[in-house]
Structures are given as structure tokens and as C-alpha cells.
Amino acid sequence: MEGSRLLRTTVFAVGALGGVSSAAYGLLTEQSRRARKVIGVPEEPPLNADGVFPPEVVTNPAELRFAVLGDSGAAGVGVDSAEQLPGVLLARGLAEESGRPVRLVTYAISGSTTRDLEPQVDRLLADPPEVAMLIIGANDVTVKLPVHTSARLLGEQLDRLRAAGVQVVMGTCPDLGAIRPIPQPLRAIAGSWSRLLATAQRAVVLRAGGVPVPLADLCSPEFIARPAELFSKDGFHPNAAGYDAAAAVLLAPLCAAAGVWASAQVRTLPVRPPARRLRLLPGPGSVGVVT
């Protein structure tokens, strides 16, 4: 996810709304310029540690295949070592809970939007895993991809995964309002947009038979309260502790989706009511206008 692109396009979106004065627009533009300097861009590509992760005690020698799809949040941009990647944390957790060796394959690519998800799914379907974890959506906000378009594209790829027998757990769009280098009022605007997208994603994931995990609701309060401890040095991506916090809320749904735990063992995940609601339209993966 690119901080500069988020700020640029958020200013554009605000300017397109009625009632924004030229003075206010100038203030937002200046805020975005300053925040871009603070956030910067990642200097190196994300780490990768795909492979087999054995449990300490093997109760079933059959490999459990686990795939990771999405953007920088799934790929793990911001950590210092491969052992801290979210895919690795979750693969190790699945291995210990299942007693099976877990084979991790990462298809996630930093900077991806939902438009870029199809080629990732193409690669995955060449050798389908039993369960996949997906995090995507933040970059949809940065490129001004309409919520209904993003939801439709997501639904199409979820239908392909489910038709191949892949169980899917999705961490819905994180709350961009938690990112402090984005000044106010830009931060509030980005946060509102990302939460609307998360609401739409949740509806589509449920419709496809997947498991949505509301990262904004479950993780943002902690990130807002302890930013210095949970964000990487760019102030935009999580650090190792931040990804550990996210993995902690994703592991139980993954265990249930993979058949390691009974669904009854996974508590109901709370969802913060959105300020505005999306009216769903008939048809797989389609979401209507905001009402």
C-alpha cells in the first residue's frame, strides 16, 4: 500500500464533493504533501518464507496446504525478518493446532487492488490449497475504486475459490483512520471510506460462503492506542507486533475453516455499525449504492 497514493487520491475525492471551498482544498493538499514526506515508500520488497512448517507433535502426517492472497497487509510489508510474516505466524499456528505439517504458499503482492486479485487466484488454482487467507482493499481506497466495483470483483474471485473447494478467511479492509501520518481531516475521510469498503466486503464474503474477519473492529482500537508499538518505521504498515495482533484474531477462524476446530469454538466476531449502509443487490458478489 502506498501512502503517497492514498493521500493524493483522498484529496481528489474530497475536492470532488460538493461544498468544499478552495481554501479547504488547499489545506488538504498541503496536508497530503507533508504526510507523503513522513510516510515515504518501502525501500525493499517484502520477505518470503514459503515452505513446510511442522508441528512440535505430529498427530497427522498429511500436509495441510495454506495460501495467502492480497496486498502488502497479507504479504507482510513492514517486518524485519521472515519469521515475523503474517503467513508464517498463521502457518505455525495452524500446524500446532492441527498436529499436521502446514505448507505455506504466498501469492500476495504489495500494492495490489481487488482488480489485481484475479492473477493471484489463477496461480493458486493451479494447485488449490485447503484453506486461504485474504487481505485486500486498502489500495482500492487509494485508487478511488468504487465500493460496488471492488465488491463485485471480490465476489467473482471468491466464487472461483469456493468452486475449487478452497475455504476462505478474509481480513476485511483495515481502518485507514488509524494511520497517524495522515493528518486530519484526511484521516477521517480515509477511515470512513475504508470502513464502508469493509462492510461491503463482509457481505460478499458471507454470500460466497467464506469467513469475514473485521480487522478494523478487532485491531484498530489497539493500533490507535499504541501506534509506536504496532506500526513499522514508515508509520503506515504494521511491524512484527502489529502483524502478531492481526494474526491473533485470524487464527481461530482459519482453524475453523480448515476443520481443525469446530465452528462452535470460534466466538462471534463483533462488527462496528457503519455510519452509512450499503443496499445489496441481487446476484453473486454485487453490492448496490450507499444509502
Residue range 271-282, pLDDT digits in tens: 444 333 333 333
Place of cell 503467513: 87
In the chain, which stretches have pLDDT less than 70? 1-46, 262-291
- What helix, strand, coil percent values describe the chain, rounded to 5? 50, 15, 35
Q: Are 107 and 168 in contact (CB under 8 A)?
A: no
Task: Quote the cell numbers at residue 258.
Answer: 480448515
Q: Are 150 and 141 in contact (CB under 8 A)?
A: no
The yes-or-no answer on residue 72 being catalytic is yes
Query: Span 42-290: which CATH code?
Result: 3.40.50.1110
How far is the C-alpha of 210 from the C-alpha of 203, rounded, in Å? 10
70 φψ region: left (φ > 0), alpha (ψ -120 to 50), beta (else): left
| Domain boundaries along the sequence of the chain | 42-290
Per-residue pLDDT, 132: 98
> What is the pTM assigned to this prediction?
0.78
Per-residue pLDDT, 285: 34
Per-residue pLDDT, 249: 95
The yes-or-no answer on residue 237 being catalytic is yes
pLDDT in tens, 184-243: 777 788 788 899 999 999 999 999 999 999 998 998 888 888 888 888 887 778 899 999
Per-residue pLDDT, 275: 37
Per-residue pLDDT, 158: 98
Per-residue pLDDT, 44: 62
Per-residue pLDDT, 223: 85
The yes-or-no answer on residue 50 being catalytic is no
Exposed, middle or buried: residue 192 (CB in 10 Å: 0-12, 13-18, 19+)? Answer: middle
Name the active-site residue from 71, 140, 217, 234: 234
How far is the C-alpha of 216 from the C-alpha of 6, rounded, in Å? 17
- Beta strand 278-280 with 287-290 is antiparallel
Name the active-site residue from 72, 112, 194, 220: 72
How far is the C-alpha of 234 from the C-alpha of 46, rounded, in Å? 14
Per-residue pLDDT, 90: 97
Q: Which residues face 53 on adjacent strands?
A: 102
